[in-house]
Structure 1
Amino acid sequence: MPSVKIYDTTLRDGTQAEGISLSCEDKIKIAQRLDKMGFHYIEGGWPGSNPKDADFFWRIRSYSFKNARLAAFGSTRRAKLAAESDDNVKALLASGVRCATIFGKTWDLHVTKSLGTTLAENLAMIRDTVSYLKSHGLEVFFDAEHFFDGYKANPAYALAALEAAAEGGADTLVLCDTNGGSLPLEIKEIVEVAVQRLSIPIGIHAHNDGELAVANTIMAVQSGASQAQGTVNGYGERCGNANLCSVIPNLYLKLGIDTIPRENLAHLVEMSHYVSEVANLSPDARQPYVGISAFAHKGGVHVSALLKEPKTYEHIEPELVGNHRRVLISELSGMSNLLYKYKEMNLGFDRQGPEGKRILAEIKELENQGFQFEGSEGSFELLMRKAQDNYTEPFSLEALRLLVEMKENNPAYAEAIIKIRVGDQVVHTAAEGNGPVNALDHALRKALKDFYPNIGSMHLNDYKVRVLDEKDGTGASVRVHIETGDGQNSWGTVGVSQNIIEASWQALADSIAYGLLKGEKTNLESSSEKSAAGE
């Protein structure tokens, strides 16, 4: 099987994305995760550009890596200055790494306009810097900056820059589509020229300004490149870099090209979400392969076909990359969607009976009112379970009163007074909060804690309000979506009303009821596993 080395630059190029700032500790965590994933190279940063990166390389020395080589990034020596006297080059050596990636100009426009030097001096800068680093025993990659634009403008000079790096002893020549505007067939033609012209391995570093970074990376590999550079989730400057979460499965699953260890491919989703979490960014739901919507199905015709053969609407098995299939419920749903969800929840379902048609009609009517069940699996499952004869509500509302007091120069005060029935018992209690919904949440938990102690593990993660029919002004209906978690799982619930308190109560009550239901199922599964194990 042919193979391609994966070179990750999330810790350097990825941090140049708007909205991303990683601490030194963050970078260490991500580097360890990427090494565990089996990446071949991890670019830690530019030690000559800022103290944070220099600190990273100092601290990372105390960590061992099983799979990856750590690379430091830098530039060629400055014009008319010896490599050994250049502070940037000295910082690369001081970083303690055994692999350095240096970038140099290959577009004559940049040489004369940006660097303000001669074309001959630029070639000497490339050759000298590579040679100097090689003389100190480093593995050296040359990032040919703006190579594709440079080649289109002056092919002879762009290739001469590669030859200068080769003469200096570079181990790999990485062709960079720095402006991200090249097309796949252009990449193919130019990479093939470089591969034929030079005997040194070729790499690819693509940016995504034309939404083609992944396609261009795949095309470069098919044209002879043996190293693929990119970032996790495609993070990077402007529109980002080639997304390794797409590059890796495309190479492995579509082209049969070896990258990371085969068994690690199933952890791709986990790695993607881990990096998002450390970077304090929400995962992109629609990201190919690793997004939660990548294998989500909504149309009834699609789901009907999936039940018969998943290949009809899925290009790979979701589990290959650590993802899973999801069937959504909406006004577009058909009986097949319901059948799938009933099977998923291990509930009995008579496809020909009246129950399914009634629930489907109810769902479509609720969606017409503004309910949205796609991200509210908690509310949807409760709706289905309430249709079963054996469902018992964990609690019901008897009465609710909210008091809100506002005084000048004082924060608003809210108090919720609630009467809840649990079985044959009624609890009447009150609680305060910094707003009416917060007070309501506190009062409900206070009323239920003695009956359901595990309610303490449930936490509200997100609360969103969407105004429906804005033209109705303050009388418009609102949709409230609540995201709740227990430290291991999270679930969404929804409520809709012209009264924001009523909508909030619907979503809040469902979130607690569903959390209690999940807790019961977990306990039952745990007891079954222990019984099977003979405990």
Structure 2
Amino acid sequence: MSLIRLYDTTLRDGTQAEDVSFLVADKIRIAQKLDELGIHYIEGGWPGSNPKDIAFFKDVKKVSLKQTKIAAFGSTRRAKTTPDKDANIRTLVQAEPDVVTIFGKTWDFHVHEALRISLEENLELIYDSLAYLKQHVAEVIYDAEHFFDGYKANPEYALKTLKAAQDAGADCIVLCDTNGGTLPYELPAILAEVKKAVSTDLGIHTHNDSECAVANSLVAVEHGIVHVQGTMNGFGERCGNANLCSIIPALRLKMGRECVNDAQLKALRSTSRYIYELANLVPNKHQAYVGNSAFAHKGGVHVSAIQRHPETYEHIRPEQVGNVTRVLVSDLSGRSNILAKAEQFSINLDSKDPITQEILENLKEMENKGFQFEGAEASFELLMRRALGTLRQFFSVIGFRVIDSRRHEDEMPLSEATIQVKVGGKIEHTAAEGSGPVNALDNALRKALEKFYPQIREMRLLDYKVRVLPAGKGTASITRVLIESGDKDGRWGTVGVSDNIIDASYQALVDALIYKLVKDLEEKKG
């Protein structure tokens, strides 16, 4: 069986979802994660539509990717102009991506009502645009927008649009269920007719408006599709896109199709959670394969059975996708959770060791308060090291104070932080200003510690996110702060939780600094 090529459009189609927005830096980090996951194509955006996407295509060239190809998205040329003079087409070429994907009209209704041109002229738009791009880009993919609706309305014309794309030299023709209304039983007969009309490799792009996006994608693969488009966590406009977090394990584990390897598949859950965190969204605990509840067992009959043979109530082994079995009502469930987390972070723990129970109790207490360690692996490692007694005390904070003041009505507020730290018996008392209280506190901490640990100067605060827990309590709510830091060798995440946003930020900042010192000390020992 041929390789199924995975095409991720989280960074383009996914960002059209309500409440989803990524900074350029977020998009770069997500692209790196998707590359590690084994995704073959990453659609970075529409460079002709906004400056952010133009910046992404410029910055992603500075990143070393192992296997994935970066695709730029756009549309066919406008009517009454040639491809070489069409601003959108020119911008696609200027972005210098590995691949260009353009969409064109398949549905005669759209040709008449949206483009307001003749059916024959639409065929020319498709052919001219793809033929021009093939002269300037190594690989060109054609998305046949509204294909299934167009086929149902006028099958003869819908197939003509695909033939135009094939004649122009498209490397892959993707059949799009743009409105998401097609049902799985409809696909086989339509795909059979498409394969009679064109010989080019075929892809599928489905939306979830009828809750069938994943099913439609899998049915399409069963009937000869070799290219599957979707988004992580199903992000997308309206009801979302086909969810790659469900498609990938279904292809690999259930259909036996080659797409990612076993090691990459184990990173599925962590990649899903990472993208939720960067989107600043609460992960869907009931999400198939990767959700917290996907392999959680509560009923007594279920618990008894899965302790003997997990297959009795689990359709796959959760470890295959980076998840774990959870028994919700027993002490064993907590112990197994902590051991799974320890294994994930390469920390050697024995289930019978009293330290394991201590870590378990700490973890339960912290999670009850709102801590969450997906995206904050450094804080979790420090938690483990503290319990094991292997964490050196590099410094202690005696106290701090943060003051915000607005001196004039037309000026921005000024933040100042004062802090006292103790390092090896010496007390350092410093103050620093910043653009906001968290930045001021970060500056003061660094200023106090850099004379003792000059390597802290290499460290940068890369991202800062705040989440209210739970919603609905207004200014009395608990807040969780997630901070991503980095140096020349890597990045790490830390977390803090408090009813005071400055205190939560302080916790995450201190963990970030300690982790940097631990990491450097381990490297020296190694």
Which TM-score band (shorter chain)?
0.5 to 0.7
Distance change (3 Å), C-alpha of 1:187 and 1:419: same
| 2: CA distance, partners of 1:437 / 1:100 | 42
Partner of 2:496: 494
C-alpha contact (below 8 Å) 1:234/1:241 kept by paired residues:
yes
CA distance in 2, matches of 1:496, 1:268: 30
| Separation in 2, partners of 1:207, 1:366 | 40
Shift of 1:208: 1.5
Equivalent residue letter for 1:221: V
- For 1:373 and 1:123, how far apart are their aligned partners in 2? 57
8 Å contact 2:267–2:322 — kept in the other structure? no
Deviation at 1:38, TM superposition (A): 9.1
Query: Which among 82, 99, 105 is matched to residue 87 of structure 1?
Result: 82
Q: Summarize the alignment of residues 2-13 of structure 1 with structure 2, pairs less than 5 Å apart.
A: 2-3=2-3
| Distance (whole Å) between structure 2 residues aligned to residue 201 and residue 44 of structure 1 | 25
Instruction: State whether structure 2 residue 461 is matched by structure 1 residue 464.
Output: no
Q: Structure 1 residues 148 and 202, CA, compared in 2 at 3 Å: closer, same or farther?
A: farther
CA distance 1:255–1:342, shift in 2 (3 Å): closer
Distance 1:458 1:484, change over 3 A: farther
C-alpha deviation, 1:128, in angstroms: 10
Q: Aligned pair 1:218/2:213, yes or no?
A: no
Q: Secondary structure at the match of 1:334?
A: helix
Paired residues of 1:398 and 1:420 also in contact (CA < 8 A): yes
CA contact (8 A) 1:105 1:122 kept: no
TM-score (norm 1): 0.63
Deviation, 1:462, is 1.4
Give the match for residue 126 of structure 1.
123
3-state SS in 1 of match to 2:225? coil
Partner of 1:346: 347
CA contact (8 A) 1:481 1:493 kept: yes
> What CA distance in whole angstroms lies between the structure 2 residues aligned with 1:292 and 1:431?
49
The structure-2 alpha-carbon separation of the partners of 1:264 and 1:22, relative to structure 1 and needing over 3 Å to count, comes to farther
Matching of residues 230-245 of structure 1 within 5 Å: none
User: 2: CA distance between counterparts of 1:441 and 1:310?
Assistant: 47
The answer to whether the 8 A contact 2:71-2:101 is kept is no
Report the counterpart of residue 185 of structure 1 in structure 2: 185
| Equivalent AA in structure 2 for residue 464 of structure 1 | V
Q: CA 1:449–1:293 in structure 2 vs 1: closer, same or farther (change >3 Å)?
A: farther
> Structure 1 residues 216 and 477, CA, compared in 2 at 3 Å: closer, same or farther?
closer
What's the counterpart of residue 430 of structure 2?
Answer: 430
Question: Match of 1:122, as an amino acid?
Answer: L
- Which residue type is aligned with residue 490 of structure 1? W
Q: Structure 1 CA distance, aligned partners of 2:123 and 2:192? A: 22
Whole-Å Cα distance in 2 between the matches of residues 215 and 462 of structure 1? 37
| Counterpart check, 1:153 vs 2:171 | no
- Structure 1 CA distance for aligned equivalents of residues 404 and 46 of structure 2: 52
1:452 matched residue in structure 2:
453
Aligned residues: 487
- How far the C-alpha of 1:446 sits from its partner, in A, is 2.7
The answer as to 2:442 corresponding to 1:441 is yes
Establish whether residue 519 from structure 1 lines up as the match of residue 514 from structure 2. no
Q: Paired residue for 2:197?
A: 198
Which residue identity is paired with 1:374?
F
User: What CA distance in whole angstroms lies between the structure 1 residues aligned with 2:468 and 2:449?
Assistant: 29
Rate the CA distance shift 1:169–1:113 in 2: closer, same or farther, 3 A.
Answer: same
Q: Deviations over 1:462-497 (max 9, x none)?
A: 1536366965x76x4744524142331312132435
Task: State the secondary structure of the residue aligned to 1:398.
Answer: strand
CA distance in 2, matches of 1:69, 1:505: 38
The separation in 1 between residues aligned to 2:372 and 2:125, in whole angstroms, is 62
Displacement of 1:268 in angstroms is 8.9
Per-residue Cα deviation, 1:185-241 (whole angstroms, up to 9, x for no partner): 22223212333x436346244242425444323322322335555678878766665
Contact 1:395 1:421 in 2 (8 A): yes
Give the gaps of 5 or more residues in structure 2: 62-66
CA contact 1:8–1:231 (8 Å) conserved in 2: yes
Cα distance in 2 for residues equivalent to 1:136 and 1:466? 47
- Please identify, of 38-47 and 446-455, the stretch whose mean Cα deviation from structure 2 is larger: 38-47
Whichever residue aligns with residue 190 of structure 1, its letter is I
Structure showing greater Rg: 1
- Aligned match of 1:533: none
SS of 1:489 mapped into structure 2:
strand
For residues 347 and 142 of structure 1, do their structure 2 counterparts lie closer, same or farther at Cα, with a shift above 3 Å needed? closer
Over 3 Å counting, the alpha-carbon distance change for 1:205 and 1:506 in structure 2 is: closer
- Retained in 1: the 8 A contact 2:203–2:228? yes
Could you say what the CA RMSD is over the residues aligned between the two structures, in angstroms?
A: 6.2
Q: Secondary structure at the match of 2:199?
A: coil
Using a 3 Å threshold, how does the CA distance of structure 1 residues 163 and 427 change in structure 2: closer, same or farther? Answer: closer
Shift in Å, 1:113? 3.9
Label 1:88 to 1:365 Cα distance change in 2 as closer, same or farther (>3 A): closer
1:327–1:40 distance in 2 versus 1, CA, 3 Å: closer
Does structure 1 conserve the Cα–Cα contact (< 8 Å) formed by 2:297 and 2:327?
no
Distance 1:392 1:14 in 2: 43
Q: How much has 1:428 moved relative to structure 2?
A: 3.3
Seen in structure 2, the aligned counterparts of structure 1 residues 437 and 191 have a Cα distance that, compared at 3 Å, is closer
Task: Give distance in 2, aligned partners of 1:300 and 1:506.
Answer: 33
Shift of 1:339: 3.4
Tell me: CA distance 1:20–1:189, structure 2 relative to 1, closer, same or farther (3 Å). farther
In structure 2, relative to structure 1, the CA distance for the partners of 1:104 and 1:468 (3 Å cut) is closer
Letter matched to residue 513 of structure 1: I
Corresponding residue of 1:509: 510
Q: Distance in 1 between matches of 2:457 and 2:14?
A: 38
The answer to whether the 8 A contact 1:416-1:432 is kept is yes
Contact between 1:127 and 1:165, CA under 8 Å: does it hold in 2?
Answer: no
Letter in 1 for 2:510: A
TM-score by length of 2: 0.64
Contact 2:76 2:125 in 1 (8 A): no
Q: Which amino acid aligns with 1:203?
A: L
> Partner amino acid for 1:492?
T
Change (3 A) 1:463 1:307: farther
Paired residue secondary structure (2:466): strand
Q: 1:51-450 alignment to 2 at 5 Å?
A: 75=76, 87-88=82-83, 105-114=105-114, 122=119, 126=123, 130=127, 144-155=144-155, 158=158, 174-195=174-195, 197-198=196-197, 200-201=199-200, 203-210=202-209, 211-228=211-228, 250-251=250-251, 254-258=254-258, 282=279, 315=316, 334-342=334-342, 344=345, 346=347, 349=350, 351=352, 353=354, 355-368=355-368, 370-375=369-374, 376-388=376-388, 391-402=391-402, 405-409=405-409, 411-423=412-424, 425-434=425-434, 435-450=436-451
SS at match of 1:216: helix
Distance in 2, matches of 1:506 and 1:72, equals 41
Mapped partners of 1:213, 1:167: distance in 2: 29
Match of 2:64 in 1: none
Instruction: Give the counterpart letter for 2:371 in structure 1.
Output: Q
Is contact 1:304-1:337 (8 Å) kept? no
CA shift digits 1:64-123 (9 cap, x unpaired) = xx9989999764996xxxxxx8624886899799x9988665434335544556xxx625
| Residue 431 of structure 1, CA deviation | 0.9
Q: Structure 1, unaligned stretches of length 5 or more?
A: 61-65, 79-84, 527-535
